[in-house]
Structure 1
Amino acid sequence: MTGAAAKDAASRGDAAGDVVPQALNLPGSAVWMLKSLETQVRPVAERIAHKIQTSTSAPDEPRDVSLHQLILTATHNAMRLFLDRALDRPTSPSLVDDHFRRLGYRQAARGRNHEVIDGAVAIALSEVWDELRVRAAENELSASALNSLSEALTGFVAHLEGQVRIGFATGSAERDQDQGVARARLLDHLLAGADDDEIETQAAIAQWPVPALVTVLAVQPAAGAALEAAMAGPDALARTGRSPMVVLCASERAAAVIDALKALSPAPRVVACWPVPAADVPSAWVWVNRALALVDAGIIPARPVIECLRHRSEIWLHAEPVLRRQLAQELLEPLFNETPNSRDILSETLLVWLETRDSAPAIAARLGVHPQTVRYRWKRINELFGEDLHDPEFVLQMTMLLKASVPMWIAGDQSDFERFRANEGG
């Protein structure tokens, strides 16, 4: 079966010649015996899952919690399905089939051979059959009824083995694909915040173990230039087809990857996030794009390499632009009523005071003006805001608001004032 065919079969939940088992039609004595087993499904499933994992893993291999959970879930649900069919209850096999296809897919994608899977199935069948034989002896089940039960169980397990083969074929086909395609898929999974089990599987296919800490880069090509994933070097995951290009690498390799990108001619602009665990890659991708947008808006200085760590406040403060606009209209109304020149110098002086709480001479030195000028401005600020400047909540909101807004105004964004004038006119 080709990779595409295997994928298609896996999505349909069938395969050529594979027949979904129907109601079991067991003798009444066998049905009665199986009904007494309903309370034992979970303990038996846990015993099977434990035995499969200890029997199929190397002695020094760490316990794979996600694999154990998948085996336990698949075994438990399969046993429930078998009992429901035996008791002639309505059943839906699709979820069980999916679990067993996932088991096959995972094992193939991670390079395990089919003999390991065959061994696991044999262990499960042996454990279940041992439990049934003990119950059969206790209930004095006839040889004929026991034979019917054996045939039903064998047919049921054969169906599940078929589902494992479908998943194994799909995983094998994907593992054999070009490594570049596999790495691109892994990058997409990391950006989408896929679950750990899926990411580990894709990492095995791509042969790119996910490090404890990763660095996410947004790479914006120079005008007229094109970027290729290989330009980021062999240590990085990179994907073109989106703008900016996304690059992900182990944090200890970030400097080397950035140097390789800086060496391109013409050099692109690189925005680098601080190191994050793999689970935070989707958020880091949002942060680097927000930083790039703030560079384009003139709020963050335009440099060849933008380190997000130096601009976390700006990235955070501009996370909710609608909220910033609303607060600006509410809190900054006294400033907006000033002339443009007065508004600019008063907001700049107020922000420096909020950030430093320094004396007039210290603020004057920072602003490059005379201390008396600062005192005059502070007098006007007190006239505008009065007692509010002694309210801790107001001061906190004003500090954050001005830190987010003043760089915008300096960069030429006049939307706050235009909105204020429009509201005043209404």
Structure 2
Amino acid sequence: MTGRAADGAADPSVLPGRLAEIMRPELESVADEIVAEIRALIPEYRRPLDGPYGKTIKAGVQHAVSLFAAQIADPSASKQHAHEVHRRLGQYEMREGRSLDTLQAAYRAGARVAWRRIMEVGRRSGFSSGVMSHLADAMLGFMDELASVALDGFLEAKARSTDALDTWRRRLLQLVLERPAVPPDAIEELAQLVGWTTPKAATPVAVRPLHPLNPAQRPSLDPDVLAELSGVEPRLLLPGPLTRERVAALERALPRCRFAVGPCVPLDAVADSLRWARKALALVDEGVLTPRRVMWVQECLPVLLLHADTALAAQLRRRLLTTLDGLTPRQRERMLETLRAWLDAQGHVLDMAERLSVHPQTVRYRMRQLEATFGDRLREPEARFELELAVRTMPDRIAGPATSRRS
């Protein structure tokens, strides 16, 4: 080949077919040389090549060099099969126990061998520097692409190992709960990696262990449940609405726990729903809500709203209790109990008597005391609403038995 012909090969209309034709006879030997180089430089690959191990390594290299030649001849040639081979190769490397660094070192070694052979072919064929530069860019970009595919396969296999899968699933749950919200694409990418189908809406569950959980024991949760049970605030996330059957399954899987089930909401609102569920558990501890094995947040939204700002609720209570200054503790308790019953029964004497378990005449006497203490505040809608807010934020031991029945 003359120099003039070689320079002309740099023309895009001539380069692809000519280069592919020259390189095809080199493919088998360069593949063998790449395998030998990898085994010589990287101790982890010095196993005998008989059996599935050798076939996997050789197949990966042969597909790579064959596809490179095909890509030069026709850039639109499909890469799907080669990508699948190298994705499986990455998965195989992870299962074999080799590191990510080892895998990447193998691809670098392969790129060096391929480049040396291209330089030899170029010199032998009289290619110009322009052609060689084109080849170098094409080859390096191609090897980076295959290395990236193998890396994806490696990470997929790693994510699906038992311990790693749990770690990545916990990370996915954390991403869903992040504030400010992370991009949906980031959630979807990690969800695909761990095999979790991203739902349009989900139900968070706050978990309260009633006895210490055994960290070595894995609860038998359904595969679509994301769980973080080892932290300070254990939680679960289930796709879609939570049925009674699924709640029963949770109770069986975590028999020594209390659950607060948040409302089913779009994925970007799960953090708020979980926050409400945690608040419901806290209100049980404070004596505001009645303890139950499973609490449905939808059933106590008004109580959660009243206790959403504890400092503000305390201020409301102080305004109410200031009105009762000068009374003995017993008188104050009876006054608050009567006020609560009066608000609940809307002033109906017989209903109040039943709630307070006293005679109607006693109710009338107490109502006169209420009117003397609160005056017009009992008749003004806004003032009466403030009184009711203050009373309903009080613990049972202060507001009286009417509160317990109401809760």
Q: Structure 2 length normalisation: TM-score?
A: 0.56
Separation in 2, partners of 1:394, 1:351: 14
CA 409–211 in structure 1, closer or farther in 2 if over 3 Å, else same:
farther
Match of 1:354 in 2: 343
Match of 1:394 in 2: 383
Secondary structure at 1:332 match in 2: helix
CA 380–410 in structure 1, closer or farther in 2 if over 3 Å, else same:
closer
Match of 2:203 in 1: 215
* 1:320 Cα deviation after fit: 0.6
Residues 149-197 of structure 1: per-residue CA shift (max 9 Å, x gap): xx9xx99x99999999998777555433133333222111111132322
Match of 2:89 in 1: none
Indicate conservation of the 8 Å contact 1:233/1:257, yes or no: no
CA 368–198 in structure 1, closer or farther in 2 if over 3 Å, else same:
same
Secondary structure at 1:405 match in 2: coil
Separation in 1, partners of 2:141, 2:396: 63
Match of 1:268 in 2: 257
Residues 276-325 of structure 1: per-residue CA shift (max 9 Å, x gap): 22111111221111111111122211122122222222222111111111
Separation in 1, partners of 2:363, 2:81: 76
Are 2:325 and 1:325 equivalent residues in the alignment?
no
CA 215–254 in structure 1, closer or farther in 2 if over 3 Å, else same:
farther
Aligned residues: 266
Q: Of 138, 156, 163, which residue of structure 2 is paired with 1:175? A: 156
Q: Of 159, 174, 185, which residue of structure 2 is paired with 1:197? A: 185
Indicate conservation of the 8 Å contact 1:269/1:303, yes or no: yes
Are 2:172 and 1:186 equivalent residues in the alignment?
yes
Match of 2:13 in 1: none
CA 299–202 in structure 1, closer or farther in 2 if over 3 Å, else same:
same
Amino acid at match of 2:185: D
* 1:114 Cα deviation after fit: 9.6
Are 2:228 and 1:247 equivalent residues in the alignment?
no
**1:256-295 alignment runs, 5 A limit:** 256-264=245-253, 266-295=255-284
Amino acid at match of 1:259: A
Residues 93-120 of structure 1: per-residue CA shift (max 9 Å, x gap): xxxxxxxxxxxxxxxxxxx9997xxxxx
Q: Structure 1 length normalisation: TM-score?
A: 0.54
CA 204–332 in structure 1, closer or farther in 2 if over 3 Å, else same:
same
Secondary structure at 2:295 match in 1: strand
Indicate conservation of the 8 Å contact 2:336/2:400, yes or no: no
Indicate conservation of the 8 Å contact 1:215/1:254, yes or no: no
Match of 2:358 in 1: 369
CA 384–209 in structure 1, closer or farther in 2 if over 3 Å, else same:
same
Indicate conservation of the 8 Å contact 2:201/2:239, yes or no: yes
Secondary structure at 2:200 match in 1: coil
The runs of 5 or more residues in structure 1 that have no matched partner are 1-111, 116-147, 413-426
Indicate conservation of the 8 Å contact 1:229/1:238, yes or no: no
Indicate conservation of the 8 Å contact 1:229/1:240, yes or no: no
Amino acid at match of 1:205: L
Aligned-pair Cα RMSD in Å: 3.6
**1:22-41 alignment runs, 5 A limit:** none
Indicate conservation of the 8 Å contact 1:236/1:247, yes or no: yes
* 1:210 Cα deviation after fit: 2.5
Separation in 1, partners of 2:169, 2:207: 18
Separation in 2, partners of 1:236, 1:180: 11
Indicate conservation of the 8 Å contact 1:232/1:247, yes or no: no
CA 163–265 in structure 1, closer or farther in 2 if over 3 Å, else same:
closer
Secondary structure at 2:368 match in 1: helix
Indicate conservation of the 8 Å contact 2:336/2:399, yes or no: no
Indicate conservation of the 8 Å contact 2:337/2:400, yes or no: no
* 1:351 Cα deviation after fit: 2.1
Q: Of 398, 401, 406, which residue of structure 2 is paired with 1:409? A: 398
CA 208–265 in structure 1, closer or farther in 2 if over 3 Å, else same:
closer
Amino acid at match of 2:272: S
Q: Report which stretch shifted further, 280-289 or 383-392.
A: 383-392
Match of 1:17 in 2: none
Secondary structure at 2:211 match in 1: coil
Secondary structure at 1:243 match in 2: coil
**1:295-334 alignment runs, 5 A limit:** 295-334=284-323
Amino acid at match of 1:182: W
Secondary structure at 2:264 match in 1: coil
Secondary structure at 2:168 match in 1: helix
Residues 389-410 of structure 1: per-residue CA shift (max 9 Å, x gap): 2332222222122111143636
Indicate conservation of the 8 Å contact 1:348/1:406, yes or no: no
Secondary structure at 2:291 match in 1: coil
Amino acid at match of 1:175: E
Separation in 2, partners of 1:293, 1:233: 27
Separation in 1, partners of 2:344, 2:184: 42
Separation in 2, partners of 1:235, 1:376: 60
**1:48-197 alignment runs, 5 A limit:** 173-176=154-157, 177-178=159-160, 179-192=165-178, 193-197=181-185
Are 2:330 and 1:344 equivalent residues in the alignment?
no
Indicate conservation of the 8 Å contact 2:340/2:399, yes or no: no
Residues 45-97 of structure 1: per-residue CA shift (max 9 Å, x gap): xxxxxxxxxxxxxxxxxxxxxxxxxxxxxxxxxxxxxxxxxxxxxxxxxxxxx
